[in-house]
Structure 1
Amino acid sequence: MTRDEFNRFCGAMKATSHVVQWGNADVWKVGGKVFALCGWNDGADAFTFKVGDVAFEVLPEQPGIRPAPYLASRGMKWVQVYEAGAMSEASLREHIEASYQMAVVKLTKKLRAELGV
């Protein structure tokens, strides 16, 4: 997945917003909550997203995937795919969608209704 493909994929999800921050990272949010970003890899593209407990234990054991810099060190369960080919594009899309859903669930009922998610 390229950075442009990542941005198109995240932008196609309902009620998302995009900002560029934190050292030229593409940051995607739903209802103000971050669910995915691309950047933070010494100028090379890397994809960072929230995962569940099991995925946080298993995924970083695979080459090219690590606990997300900054986020994981603060106790958050985020991983970063930092090497091309470390994860299939289909799997990457599934994980980003799951991260989006985790962010949506954290929104208030009222905000979810306002956003239609």
Structure 2
Amino acid sequence: MNQEAVARFCLDLPGAREDYKWGGVRVFSVAGSKMFALLNLSGDTLSFKVDKELFLGHVDRPGIRPAPYLARAFWISMNAPYPLGGEELQDLLRRSHQLVVAKLPKRSQVGLLL
């Protein structure tokens, strides 16, 4: 997947929106400000949240590292070309979205769960 395919996929998830922050980062979020993915405007870095139990397994893979400033919240980061296949990357982005949605109040989750 390339940068635009990742952006389109993220925006197709329920309730997803896009903002530009920090001088060059596309931020994909739900419920206003709950981030689930970050994409550098230069297109070279993608970061997103993963399951706590799988974090160490992901960062052991070639081309994947803990995301700067967000690793304590179990975010990973990778440079383009992404070291994951398109289907696996979509599954992980979908899971990141759902991890964030699961932390929202129950009334806010309506329509956002897959």
Same fold (TM over 0.5): yes
In structure 1, the gaps of 5 or more residues are: none
Query: Equivalent residues in 2 for 1:51-62 (5 A)?
Result: 51-62=50-61
Q: Does 1:84 align with 2:81?
A: yes
Question: 1:11, CA displacement in angstroms?
Answer: 0.8
* Rounded Cα–Cα distance in structure 1 between residues aligned with 2:16 and 2:43: 24
* Rounded Cα–Cα distance in structure 1 between residues aligned with 2:80 and 2:6: 15
Question: 1:46, CA displacement in angstroms?
Answer: 1.6
Q: In the alignment, is the contact (CA less than 8 A) between 1:19 and 1:26 conserved in 2?
A: yes
Deviations along 1:16-56, whole A, 9 cap, x unmatched? Answer: 1110112311110011210011118xx45221110112321
Q: What is the root-mean-square deviation of aligned Cα atoms in Å?
A: 1.5
| Partner in structure 2 of residue 110 of structure 1 | 107
Moved over 6 A (4+): none
TM-score by length of 2: 0.88
- Matched residue of 1:84: which SS? coil
TM-score by length of 1: 0.86
Question: 1:2, CA displacement in angstroms?
Answer: 1.4
- Matched residue of 1:95: which SS? helix
Identity %: 32
Paired residues, number: 111
- Matched residue of 2:23: which SS? coil
